Structure 1
Amino acid sequence: MKRLLSASSRRARLAIASVLLGGAASSFALNTATIVSSALSPDCIEYRVVGICYWLFCTWTGCTVRTSVKVRHYVPDAVVSSYSNTGENPWVEVRAMSTPNPTAQAGGDGTTNHDNENNLAKFKNADVIGHPGGYVFSQFASSFGYSCEGAGTAFMPYLLSTLDTIAWRYNIPEAFYPEALIPGRREIGTRTGLNLWGNVYARGGFLHQTDDHKSGAVVAQRAGDVVTRRNQIHVYQPLLANSRDGYWPAGALMETDASTGKWQPLTPTLSNSCVVFPHSGSLTQAQQGDYAWALWRPYACCQRRGQVFLGSVDFN
């Protein structure tokens, strides 16, 4: 088990992380260096010691039970971009992954005569690409103690909407799912609370929403919903890890539930904290209709200290 740092050392490291993240926030374009720096977020990692694991350790002289600390924290698995113009992912280094093709071109609003009309149809492309800050984040997380591995691989495309044309641009077959037809099912926000951002289904690029930032957030949630499940009728790769002894990976992402995942804004403004949709913070509108978030997901793990895993006990 890695030695836990003292409180003063931890505060010093967090201060350094905040300075680095603040420097990244001044960058104009969203590039890989900015995204890597954004992984140094004390708020998003939410590191916790949550329990104890028990291991059976055996040698030729006999067997003993050993223990290790069980920890839980969030990991930035992917960068989820939601943008209006096909081929113009705001993360500049990965734009070549989602260029226009014969089945996926153009984008944007369906009509523009009135910005506030309730039937304004918007369209967003979406890309889910592995977060590039894995090594930097691993070093940062290790400063708290033992750290868990995420499911994401840097620069791996998990979903590119330009390759998912039938589902993303025509909503086939999800337009006919109960979640898409019945009001109140799988919605981001509530109608009674007057803060409804949109519906998760059908998980495609079209929606009706007068606020462009909210539109981008809803589409990002849809993309995250797809990649964190297996056997979906989309062209994608699951962003999931398999559980094993002493390792409990993140599962399916659910809207409004921070225990399944949360979002760190990257552009048009970079934040050092994470949110779930909907939220009450300021909503900066992107001039080109392009937004990006880091998707942080929760993992729990403990250090292996024997040949046989006997189980774990959580403090709560």
Structure 2
Amino acid sequence: MISCTSRHRAGVLLLSMAVLPVAEASLNTAQIVASAASQNCISWRVSGICYWLFCTKFSCKVRTSVKVSHYIPEVVVSTYTAPGGNPWREMSAVSSTAGGPENAISKGIAGLSAGGGNPADMKVQGERRSSIRFKYADATGHPATTLIGGMVPGYSCESPVTPFVPYFLSTLDSIAWRTGLPESLYPEALIPGKREIGSQEEENMWGNVYPRSGFVTQTDDDKAAAVVAQRVADIITRTGEPHVYQPVKAGKKDGYWPPDPVEENTGTRNHKWQRLTPSVSTSCAVFPDGEHEAAETGNEVYWQ
């Protein structure tokens, strides 16, 4: 985000991702707040000077102000393989409670009970191993967003996000999240090379952004979790998407320039990710960002 006066602020979206064993549930709010104090992730800097023209009937004056840019920890995105498996301890109850409507929807449509799991992990003798994985996902307001955003009036950016508020729960978006409809019919999902994280040419293609569902074709579980997290960020930073969610979007005003919607392969122009599990990273990056250890249970948490 970018700020240009002592009264107006702006910034860039910063996301978190976490991956943790459900049984341990070792990621808590205090750890997430502490992880946000990373200068590498916040990247506060003076990025320019703004000139303001003030005119009356009799004269005009030009005033200047400092322009600052930095990232704000706005959303924690958790991905997990089983219902209620959110590794963020304090928010796992929200994920579990939201599983009730998902079961009701699934039973009403297909007469089936919703469940999780990865076909890719099911090895059957004499058969090929599947590369299809399914992930649940939650996007929750970062508990430190109000601490970092607006911390120094006029020289830090405010965030439109409310801490601990769920902005996306895949269990409430059950139909689109499990069927991939209507996005499976979009050009982005049908045309190779469109909306891909990484690229085939550079041999670092992690997966497709579309359709933005819980199913991913990826043999690496860490990369599958990252693709799902990217899809969630893609949804919530836009309005009017065919999903059940609350948009994370701030309006422009004088001296305040919020980031554009999250988009892959654009560098750090509109977002960065910080990994929170299986171990907390002190730096931020965008996907694809190399090889990483995957959580044993497939449950990941990131912040953006």
**TM-score, structure 1 normalization:** 0.79
1:117–1:201: structure 2 CA closer, same or farther, 3 Å change rule? Answer: farther
| 1:182 Cα offset (Å) | 1.3
Q: Deviations over 1:100-137 (max 9, x none)?
A: 22136321212511799564211001111110012432
| 1:290 Cα offset (Å) | 0.6
| 1:151 Cα offset (Å) | 2.5
The answer to whether the aligner puts 1:121 opposite 2:118 as a matched pair is no
Does the 8 Å contact 1:118/1:210 carry over to 2?
Answer: no
Spell out the pairing of 1:24-35 with structure 2 (5 A cutoff). 29-35=26-32
Does the 8 Å contact 2:146/2:159 carry over to 1?
Answer: no
Q: Equivalents in 1 of 2:65, 2:195: separation in Å?
A: 39
Which residue in the other structure is 1:41 paired with?
38
Which residue in the other structure is 1:68 paired with?
65
Q: Deviations over 1:227-263 (max 9, x none)?
A: 0111000001110000000000012101122211010
The answer to whether the aligner puts 1:222 opposite 2:231 as a matched pair is yes
Residue 246 (structure 1) aligned to one of 255, 267, 271: 255
Residue 133 (structure 1) aligned to one of 137, 144, 161: 144
| 1:60 Cα offset (Å) | 10
| 1:28 Cα offset (Å) | 7.5
The answer to whether the aligner puts 1:263 opposite 2:241 as a matched pair is no
The residue identity in structure 2 corresponding to 1:157 is: P
1:249–1:114: structure 2 CA closer, same or farther, 3 Å change rule? Answer: farther
| 1:58 Cα offset (Å) | 6.8
Residue 86 (structure 1) aligned to one of 74, 83, 88: 83
Q: Equivalents in 2 of 1:73, 1:123: separation in Å?
A: 34
The residue identity in structure 2 corresponding to 1:39 is: A
The residue identity in structure 1 corresponding to 2:131 is: L
Which residue in the other structure is 1:300 paired with?
none
| 1:192 Cα offset (Å) | 1.9
Which residue in the other structure is 1:187 paired with?
196
Does the 8 Å contact 2:146/2:163 carry over to 1?
Answer: no
1:46–1:182: structure 2 CA closer, same or farther, 3 Å change rule? Answer: same
Unaligned runs of 5+ residues in structure 1 are: 3-26, 296-316
1:283–1:176: structure 2 CA closer, same or farther, 3 Å change rule? Answer: same
Q: Deviations over 1:31-76 (max 9, x none)?
A: 1101111110100111221222223457899653221101111111
User: Aligned to 2:33, what secondary structure does the other structure show?
Assistant: helix
Answer with 250-259 or 124-133: which moved more.
250-259
Answer with 77-86 or 51-60: which moved more.
51-60
The residue identity in structure 1 corresponding to 2:51 is: Y
The residue identity in structure 2 corresponding to 1:291 is: E
Does the 8 Å contact 2:146/2:158 carry over to 1?
Answer: no
Does the 8 Å contact 1:117/1:210 carry over to 2?
Answer: no
| 1:89 Cα offset (Å) | 0.5
Does the 8 Å contact 2:75/2:142 carry over to 1?
Answer: yes
Q: Equivalents in 2 of 1:217, 1:211: separation in Å?
A: 10
Q: Equivalents in 1 of 2:84, 2:197: separation in Å?
A: 27
User: Aligned to 2:275, what secondary structure does the other structure show?
Assistant: strand
Does the 8 Å contact 1:85/1:125 carry over to 2?
Answer: yes
Total equivalences in the alignment: 268
**TM-score, structure 2 normalization:** 0.81
User: Aligned to 2:260, what secondary structure does the other structure show?
Assistant: coil
The answer to whether the aligner puts 1:178 opposite 2:187 as a matched pair is yes
The answer to whether the aligner puts 1:275 opposite 2:285 as a matched pair is yes
Q: Deviations over 1:129-181 (max 9, x none)?
A: 11001243248x639x8111122210111110000011101111011111111
Does the 8 Å contact 1:36/1:136 carry over to 2?
Answer: no
Answer with 96-105 or 252-261: which moved more.
96-105
**Seq. identity, %:** 50
User: Aligned to 1:267, what secondary structure does the other structure show?
Assistant: coil
User: Aligned to 2:250, what secondary structure does the other structure show?
Assistant: coil
Does the 8 Å contact 2:132/2:216 carry over to 1?
Answer: yes
Q: Equivalents in 2 of 1:194, 1:274: separation in Å?
A: 22
The answer to whether the aligner puts 1:54 opposite 2:65 as a matched pair is no
